[in-house]
A and B are shown apart, each in its own frame.
Chain A
Amino acid sequence: MTLLHKFKTTSAVAALFSLCAGAAFAGPSDNSLTIGLGEEPPGFDGYISTARDGVMMTRHLFDMLVYRNPETFDYEPLLATEWTRIDDLTWEFKLREGVTFHDGSAFDADDVVWTLNTYADPETGARSQASVSWIDRIEAVDPMTVRVVSKTPFPAAMEFIAGSLPIYPSDYAQEVGLQAFSQAPIGTGPYMLEGGDSGQFTLKAFGDYYEGGGKGTPSIETLNVRIIPDTATRIAEVIGGNVEWIWNVPEDQVSQLDTLPTVTAEQGSTMRIAMVAMDAAGRANPDTPMADIKVRQAINHAIDRDAIVANLVGGDGEVINVPCYPMQFGCDTAAAVSYDYDPEKAQALLADAGYADGFSIKMLSYRDRARAEAVQSYLAAVGIEAELEVVQARASFSAWREGGVDLWYGDWGSFSIADVSASMGNFFNGSTNDGARDQAVMDLIAQADATVDEDARKAAYSEAIKEITERAYWVPMHTIVMGYAYTTGLNFTPNVDELPRFFLASWE
């Protein structure tokens, strides 16, 4: 009796609380979508907020000059309607007439000139200097025409213009200052920031968004974004229906979630590539076995990448043999030397190199412990004892850059840029990411980066790919897949560049 009584009281209290909680988000009925993200973007300035979730928001609030279609990889008009290359250094853009910012002010060449010139100045502090440091200056030819001039011939210019350079309203941004702008942004994008407090914010479809741009016009009226740091909680919210879209769903959860009638879960392939990079230059240790080409080839033969992909990557993950994403410009898969899984050959190569008894090395990884342990045990099978440490992404990157490890099982998303200069160009150019420091390869990369002649670039990259794979500086591993889960009934297509586009999403 008492128990029953207690139970009744509890339910009454709970019912009261659920009344306080108010109506949950309603999804299709009010044409809104509630999105659960793991990290709060530090602000909405696309030049500062360069983490994935931030880049995604930038694409919704702002427009770039051009749009790269995620399906066809073609450039399509956005704020610019036409563009031509004037010479090796200069691109000219005709701007779209009649575009307004979210505050109603008109868009013209001044906005483009001010935004890009401001951020091209290193003093402004753009987080990703690679996106802007190539810019020499921006000039307005007339109120609706601008020219972007690079310091040296810069082949990836259009990639960055389409990918990383949002345009801000010059008057408003100057008036409030960039710090305040980042908290209360105004753009020309398909969605405008309506407001929010810590832990959540709301985007509303921009009613006056122009037609005819590559992004189309948004179908979903409201995007409610909630920050939920814990993956398990995010998944619970999707199951409960309070959150209607999440990503970064762990591989083992995707298939389970997909069995629920209300949830659709899938793995989307991405252009992020994983690799085991080797410290061939001996930064970690001058006497490292990694300096020996036979050891590096042995490591390539020792790892069963097919098994890792089939069992631990999941989805559309693919084995790669090249040090770049195969869809990127210049990523010539035919030029690569590939190594099949052959532990006996690996052992023979190690014996040849004078390591018949094996050796021990330090290995660092992040993201996925299971995959790293698989590599560790494949190495152990041929006599290499890899002392594995799995740490946070940032600590892992900085350890590799400071040359603290022999092997680094990392991955790279190429800033979502479909050009080899963003992948190989970052790992074999003599920078701190470069564990090989091969002068011949560095020269080839520099040569390809310095011309806009497509054939010459392709030739140089193919040569570099051949060198890199012949000398086995990396074990190119596989592409990474991204797990998504969303309420069934949402039309949503994952893209390989890991940038969800909610302006293309809709409810059935």
Chain B
Amino acid sequence: MLRLFISRCALALFVVFAISIICFLLSHVAVDPASGVAGDSATDADLEAIRLQYGFDRPLILQYGDYVAGVMRGDLGTSYLSGEPVSALIAERIPATALLACLSIAFALALAVPLGVLAALRPNSWLDRGALTLAVVGQAVPNFWAGLLLILLFGIKLQWLPISGSSTLAHFVLPAITLGSFAMPALMRLIRAGMIEVLEADYIRTARAMGLSQRAILFKYALRNAVLPVISLTAVQFGFMLGGSIIVESVFAIQGIGYLAWQSMSRSDMPVIQAIVLFISLVYIVLTLLADLLNAALDPRIREKS
């Protein structure tokens, strides 16, 4: 278990390092960073002044070296545009994104688990078909469109819910539904498939033969085994949400990580972009690690193997 943990951590560090290089190179090659900082109507003199001020005229390797040295000291740099420390900008936006991610994943699981279990109990029934249709629709409808439809219905027609902003809990309802319904189908299908497989297993038949109640069989014996891959997938989905959904946060004007990423990209605010990419990869890596450990805790076989 400890060996697994250490090797995973080493791998994670390597991934973070590789990501930082790729991101750094891409953001310097795609657009002249000076023209990003200066804006559309910059003159040559503006660009030159900015290059000198920010050191864009120096070799890339030196700029990258400075960046890495800063990160090692816990200094993610300062935003070219607002001049605020990047760590503060990110910290300021984590609560909104985290709240949205928790609500969305809760919404997704609240739909996916019961629907998946019910569908598995009666494969090919009308309920299974209905759940499948819901899954296909949820997966196929693009986020921005689903968001707009929800805005039209609940925001404008019925006027039940606020459309944009993040000042009250009510502001998170529509975005959480939008984001959650995109994550829900994969989870539901995975639960359904896992349950069908498990319910046909010998030990379930044995349990039935022993006269155990349906409830005990379902929740104590079947679901616990079917849920293992679901945990991994949930972790990945949750990581994706914690990284901030650029589209959902933009559509609903939620001041989270995704919106910050989008804004920084459109303004070539390099230090912020790099820090966000680093942050997102860290979130992913930590969550996958946690999912592995949780799986190991739930399934003795995984523990034994490692």
User: Residues of A with Cβ closer than 8 Å to B?
Assistant: 11, 14-15, 17-18, 20-22, 24, 39-40, 42-43, 48, 50-51, 122, 125, 127-130, 133, 179, 182-183, 198-200, 226-230, 232-234, 236-237, 239-240, 242, 392-395, 397-398, 401-402, 412-413, 415, 426, 431-433
When distances are taken between beta carbons in the complex, the residues of chain B under 8 Å from A412 are: 41
A-B contact pairs, 16 of them (CB 8 A): A14-B154, A42-B83, A122-B49, A128-B43, A130-B43, A130-B45, A182-B83, A199-B255, A230-B251, A236-B156, A240-B163, A242-B163, A398-B36, A401-B32, A401-B47, A431-B44
Of the residues A127, A183, A239, A242, contact of B38 by C-beta under 8 Å: A127
Alpha-carbon distance A233/B155, docked complex (angstroms): 10
Bound-state CA distance A239–B43 (Å) is 39
Binary flags per residue of B64-89, CB closer than 8 Å to A gives 1, else 0: 00000000000000010111100000
Complex Cα–Cα for A238 and B75 (A): 41
Set B32, B151, B167, B168: member contacting A233, Cβ < 8 A: B151
Inter-chain contacts of B8 with A (CB < 8 A): none
B168 touching A20, Cβ below 8 Å: yes
Contact indicator A20/B170 (Cβ below 8 Å): yes
Docked CA distance A179–B40 (Å): 23
Report yes or no: B39 in contact with A125, Cβ–Cβ below 8 A: no
The answer to whether B41 touches A432 (Cβ under 8 A) is no
**A20-B169, A122-B49, A229-B263 are known contacts. Are A127 and B82 too (CB-CB below 8 A)?**
no
| B93, B171, B250 — most chain A CB neighbours (10 Å) | B250
| Extra 11 A-B pairs, beta carbons < 8 Å, given A18-B160, A236-B148 | A127-B37, A179-B83, A226-B253, A230-B164, A230-B253, A237-B164, A240-B156, A242-B163, A394-B40, A397-B35, A397-B40
Provide the residues of chain A in CB contact with B169, threshold 8 Å: 17, 20
Whether A413 and B41, one on each chain, are in contact in the complex, defined by CB atoms closer than 8 angstroms, is yes
Which residues of B pack against A, CB within 8 Å? 30-32, 35-47, 49-50, 53, 79, 81-84, 92-93, 144, 148, 151-152, 154-156, 158-171, 173, 250-253, 255, 259, 262-263, 266-268
A233 and B166 in contact, given A50-B39, A127-B46 (Cβ under 8 angstroms): no
Contact B79 A18 (CB under 8 A): no
Measured CB to CB, the closest approach of chain B to A420, in angstroms, equals 15
B34 to chain A, nearest CB (A): 8
Counting chain B CB atoms within 10 Å of each CB, which of A42, A230, A234, A412 scores highest? A230
Inside 8 A of A15's CB, which chain B residues have their CB? 160
A21, B162: Cβ atoms under 8 Å? yes
Docked complex Cα distance between A51 and B42 (Å): 11
Q: Is the CB of B45 within 8 A of A133?
A: yes
Taking a contact as CB atoms under 8 Å apart, the answer to whether B165 and A394 are in contact is no
Cross-chain contact of A18 among B37, B44, B161, B166 (Cβ < 8 A): B161
Given A42-B82, A237-B164, A130:B46 Cβ within 8 A: yes
**Is A229's CB under 8 angstroms from B45's CB?**
no
Contacts of B92 in A (CB 8 A): 198
Are B39 and A51 within 8 A (Cβ)?
yes
Distance in Å: Cβ of B252 to nearest Cβ of chain A: 7
Check A198–B255 contact: CB distance below 8 A.
Answer: yes
Selected from B84, B160, B255, the residue in CB contact (under 8 A) with A14 is B160
Minimum C-beta distance from B207 to chain A (A): 32
Contacts of A51 in B (CB 8 A): 39
A228 pairs with B160, CB closer than 8 A: no
Are B41 and A50 touching (Cβ within 8 A)? yes
A200 near B165 (CB under 8 angstroms)?
yes
Given contacts A130-B43, A200-B165, contact A125 B49 (CB under 8 A): yes
Neighbouring A residues of B148 by C-beta, 8 Å = 232-233, 236
Q: A17-B173, A22-B168 are in contact. Are A393 and B40 (CB under 8 A)?
A: yes
CA distance A51 to B173 in the complex (A): 33
B224 CB → nearest A CB, Å: 30
Interface pair A230/B250, CB less than 8 Å apart: yes
User: What is the minimal beta-carbon distance from B52 to any residue of chain A, in angstroms?
Assistant: 9
Contact A229 B250 (CB under 8 A): yes
A-B pairs, 5 with minimum CB distance: A17-B170, A14-B160, A42-B81, A398-B35, A42-B82
Measured in the bound complex, the distance between the Cα atoms of B83 and A48 in whole Å is 10
CA distance A43 to B89 in the complex (A): 13
How far, in whole Å, are A86 and B232 apart by their CA atoms in the complex? Answer: 76
- In the complex the two chains form, what is the Cα distance from A357 to B281 in whole Å? 52
CB pair B30 A395 closer than 8 Å: yes
A271 vs B170: C-alpha distance when bound (angstroms): 42
Contact B160 A233 (CB under 8 A): no
Given contacts A42-B82, A397-B35, A432-B44, contact A242 B162 (CB under 8 A): yes
List A contacts of B154 (CB < 8 A). 14
Q: Are B35 and A431 in contact (CB under 8 A)?
A: no
A43 to B44, CA, bound (A): 24
Contact B168 A21 (CB under 8 A): yes
Most buried by B among A11, A50, A234, A397: A397
CB of A226 within 8 A of CB of B165, answer yes
Q: Which residue of B lies closest to A180 (CB)?
A: B83
Q: Would A21 and B171 be within 8 Å (CB), given that A198-B92, A415-B41 are in contact?
A: yes
Which A residues touch B155, using CB under 8 A?
Answer: 236, 240
| A24, A227, A229, A402 interface centre (most CB from chain B within 10 Å) | A229
- Which residues of chain A are near B43, meaning CB under 8 Å? 128-130, 426, 431, 433
Say whether B152 contacts A236, CB under 8 Å: yes
Chain B residues whose CB sits within 8 angstroms of the CB of A129 once the complex forms: 43, 45-46, 49
* Nearest CB of chain A from residue B51's CB, rounded to whole Å: 12
The reply to whether B53 and A125 form a contact with Cβ atoms under 8 Å apart is yes
| Contact call A398/B161, Cβ cutoff below 8 A | no
A397: B residues at CB distance < 8 A: 35, 40, 42
Name which residue of chain A comes closest to B93, CB basis: A198
Which of A200, A240, A433 has the largest number of chain B CB atoms within 10 A? Answer: A240
> B44 contacts A232, CB within 8 Å?
no
Chain B min CB distance to A433 (Å): 8
User: Do the beta carbons of A398 and B31 come within 8 Å of each other?
Assistant: yes
For B35, the closest partner residue in chain A by CB is A398
The chain A residue sitting closest to B171, CB to CB, is A21
Docked CA distance A130–B49 (Å): 11
Closest chain A residue to B262 by CB distance? A229
**Of B45, B93, B158, B164, which is within 8 A of A226 by CB?**
B164
Distance in Å from the Cβ of B77 to the closest Cβ of chain A? 15
The answer to whether B45 and A14 touch across the interface, beta carbons within 8 angstroms, is no
CB distance from B289 to the nearest CB of A (A): 30
> Which of A11, A21, A128, A394 has a CB less than 8 Å from the CB of B170?
A21
In the complex the two chains form, is B253's CB within 8 Å of A233's CB? yes
Chain A, Cβ-Cβ closest to B53: A125
Min CB distance, B94 to chain A, in Å? 12
Closest to B83 in A: A179
**B40 contacts which chain A residues (CB < 8 A)?**
393-394, 397
Question: Cβ of B166: which chain A residues have Cβ within 8 Å of it?
Answer: 199
Which residue of chain B has the shortest Cβ distance to A50 in the bound complex? B39
Q: Please, which residues of chain B bring their CB within 8 A of the CB of A232?
A: 144, 148, 151, 251
- A240: chain B residues at CB < 8 Å are 155-156, 159, 163
